[in-house]
């Protein structure tokens, strides 16, 4: 199936690994010029080289910028003036008690998870509207719905993202620009793999056993009852990037294996 994306240009925040990296690879395969991002030149160069090796003829570039550093974000804009596709993917979280979460952790998570999308959209959305084509995609989380008690701060950043995404979609009325939110469930990114193997070592068991008990005890509504692969999430993202999704705007697209439950 041709997603009709050849020649488009995409920027994906926080994409040297995980869902962002997998999405970059799929977009490159579709002939999109992709700008990936991370905090250090080492990780960015490695990711660019890996993608060049994995996808023949990949037009891939790297931009180093820490979304917790406003000067670095400003510098990013001077290096990349226009994009057709903006994927607000960067996200950080801490698992900690609400009562012990310092203000700085709240600020960091809002700055990286939420304000990154505000700043990138303020810069790129007007240009998309001028061109009358564009895609902005926010990567939320099942936590926006589940609000695990050890991730209240993270969950609120993702819930706020839904209002931002819907509000921006309203600014696209009558155009061929769309703004949508994707809701991944637990996904086997590098971070999740580390979480499973560290917990397995700690409990003297296997990562598979940790995964099974996670779904039995913590993600009880999951219908999938396993972590999604990064490719399962990325394939939904690239559909929303494509022209095939042109009637989907201001929407929330769940790839959470049913974990958030409900009928909406």
Ligand X SMILES: NC(=O)c1ccc[n+]([C@@H]2O[C@H](COP(=O)([O-])OP(=O)(O)OC[C@H]3O[C@@H](n4cnc5c(N)ncnc54)[C@H](OP(=O)(O)O)[C@@H]3O)[C@@H](O)[C@H]2O)c1
Q: Residue 93 catalytic?
A: no
CB 193, min distance to ligand X, A? 9
DSSP bridge partners of 228: 187
Select which of 93, 145, 154, 239 is catalytic: 154
Helix 230-241 / helix 18-29 crossing angle, nearest 10 deg:
50
d(CA 33, CA 17): 18
Backbone φ and ψ for 155, nearest 5 degrees, come out as: -60, -35
**CA nearest 139: which of 259, 47, 23, 263?**
23
E strand or H helix at 190, and its extent? helix 190-203
Coil, helix or strand for 100? Answer: helix
* C-beta closer to ligand X: residue 15 or 242: 15
CB 58, min distance to ligand X, A? 17
* C-beta closer to ligand X: residue 41 or 132: 41
CB 219, min distance to ligand X, A? 10
Backbone φ and ψ for 188, nearest 5 degrees, come out as: -80, 70
* C-beta closer to ligand X: residue 30 or 145: 145
* C-beta closer to ligand X: residue 14 or 134: 14
CB 195, min distance to ligand X, A? 9
* C-beta closer to ligand X: residue 113 or 242: 113
What number of other Cβ atoms are within 10 A of residue 205's Cβ? 13
What number of other Cβ atoms are within 10 A of residue 1's Cβ? 6
CB 130, min distance to ligand X, A? 27
Q: Using CB under 6 A, list all residues that contact ligand X.
A: 14-20, 37-40, 43, 66-68, 89-92, 112, 139, 141-142, 184, 186-187, 189-192
Distances in whole angstroms, Cα of residue 174 to Cα of each of 19, 20, 83, 133, 183: 31, 29, 20, 11, 25
Active centre residues (catalytic): 154
């Amino acid at each position: 199936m041709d997603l009709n994306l050849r020649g488009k240009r995409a920027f994906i925040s926080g994409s040297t690994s995980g869902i962002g990296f997998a999405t970059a690879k799929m977009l490159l395969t579709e002939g999109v010029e992709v700008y990936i991002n991370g905090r250090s030149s080492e990780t960015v160069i490695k990711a660019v080289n890996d993608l060049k090796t994995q996808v023949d003829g990949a037009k891939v570039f790297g931009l180093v910028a820490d979304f917790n550093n406003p000067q670095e974000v400003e510098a990013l804009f001077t290096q990349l003036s226009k994009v057709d596709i903006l994927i607000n993917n960067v996200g950080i979280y801490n698992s900690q008690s609400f009562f012990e979460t310092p203000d700085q952790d709240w600020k960091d998570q809002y700055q990286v998870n939420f304000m990154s999308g505000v700043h990138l959209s303020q810069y790129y959305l007007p240009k998309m509207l001028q061109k009358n084509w564009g895609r902005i995609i926010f990567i939320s989380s099942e936590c926006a719905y589940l609000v695990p008690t050890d991730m209240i701060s993270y969950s609120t950043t993702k819930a706020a993202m839904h209002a931002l995404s819907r509000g921006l979609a309203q600014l696209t009325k009558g155009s061929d620009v769309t703004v949508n939110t994707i809701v991944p469930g637990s996904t086997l990114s590098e971070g999740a793999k580390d979480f499973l193997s560290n917990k397995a070592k700690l409990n003297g068991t296997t990562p598979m056993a940790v995964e099974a008990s996670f779904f039995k005890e913590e993600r009880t509504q999951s219908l999938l009852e396993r972590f999604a692969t990064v490719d399962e999430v990325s394939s939904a993202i690239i559909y929303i990037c494509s022209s095939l999704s042109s009637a989907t705007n201001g929407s929330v697209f769940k790839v959470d294996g049913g974990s958030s439950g409900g009928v909406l």
